[in-house]
Amino acid sequence: MALLIAVALFVAQAINFAVFLYDRRQARIEQATSPALTRIIDAEERIAAGRLPNDHNRRLRLVAASPIPPGGPRDTEIETALRTALVELGVKPGRIETQVIPLTRDNPRFRFMSPDRVERFMRDGGELVIAVERPDHRWLALNLPWVRSDWWIVGRLIAQTLILYAVVLVPLLWAGRRISQPLRRLAHAARTFRPGEVDVPVAEHGPQDVRDVIAAFNALRLRVTAMLDEKDRMLGAIGHDLRTPLAALRVRIESVEDDED
């Protein structure tokens, strides 16, 4: 029973883990596309007004070619989400390319961070590079922060699973042991029961339904013993009652003379 519940908990946690990762992935895509859309629309409006895109952090640039090298890994989900959102906003983009690149120590956002935080970003963080082709075949390129590793989530879910196991399985094992011990004693008493022998009744322990079963077994054992004792007394009385007639019949048989041939 405990094993079945453990397997069920594991399956439930696995499903929960998959759903959580999917939701987190969708949230990360939403967090990446929302600021990208804002900056791209703002840049398009500035270009249409005859002004160059103005990004003081240099995260958005108007370049002649895509900064993403061909053949590299791309995130098609983000590209599809960006294209759909841009079309809904009335912008018809050409090609859209994305790529996640590791951070370097000369990144401008590290200038005001502590060394420990920089190390954490270098280990787990990255930059999402988005390049959108314009109708004039120039590209709007921008860099956004991106978390590359979700291992901390895996560790948290493992800890959550262990806590769930401890909260659910420990009381279950204790309850199962509390039920199984009286049942094992009852089974041993049933196997070793010998009618007519003086035996100690099985102690009534455990939950109420288990105690009721043990009490019923003790009463049944007493009734069986009483019935066997009554049978022995009945057979003894029958034998005593038949002893005198059988003895008289034997005397009569012995007194009968054999017929001569």
Q: Give mean pLDDT, residues 82-97.
A: 87
pLDDT in tens, 151-200: 667 777 788 888 888 888 888 888 877 778 888 888 888 888 777 666 77
Write down the pLDDT at residue 210.
82
Alpha helices in 110-198 (DSSP H): 115-124, 151-191
Q: How big is the chain, counted in residues?
A: 261
Q: Are 69 and 98 in contact (CB under 8 A)?
A: no
Q: Give mean pLDDT, residues 127-148.
A: 85
Q: Give mean pLDDT, residues 122-144.
A: 83
Calculate what percentage of the chain has a pLDDT beyond 90. Answer: 0
pLDDT in tens, 195-221: 766 677 888 887 788 888 888 888 888
Name the token pair of 54.
């103005």
Name the token pair of 195.
């009618």
Q: Give mean pLDDT, residues 51-68.
A: 73
Name the token pair of 89.
């906003």
Strand partners, 175: none
Q: Residue 261 pLDDT more than 50? A: no
Name the token pair of 210.
């288990």
In whole numbers, what is the pLDDT of the chain averaged over residues? 79
pTM beyond cutoff 0.75: no
Strand partners, 100: 128
Calculate what percentage of the chain has a pLDDT beyond 70. Answer: 79
Q: Which residue has the higher pLDDT, 118 or 58?
A: 118
pLDDT in tens, 14-38: 888 888 888 888 888 887 788 888 8
Strand partners, 127: 101, 145
Sheet holding 96-102, edge to edge: 60-63, 139-147, 125-133, 96-102
Q: Pick the closest to residue 31 from 184, 144, 142 (CA basis).
A: 144
Write down the pLDDT at residue 197.
67
Q: Within the chain, what is the greatest distance between any pair of CA atoms?
A: 156
Q: Residue 43 pLDDT more than 60? A: yes
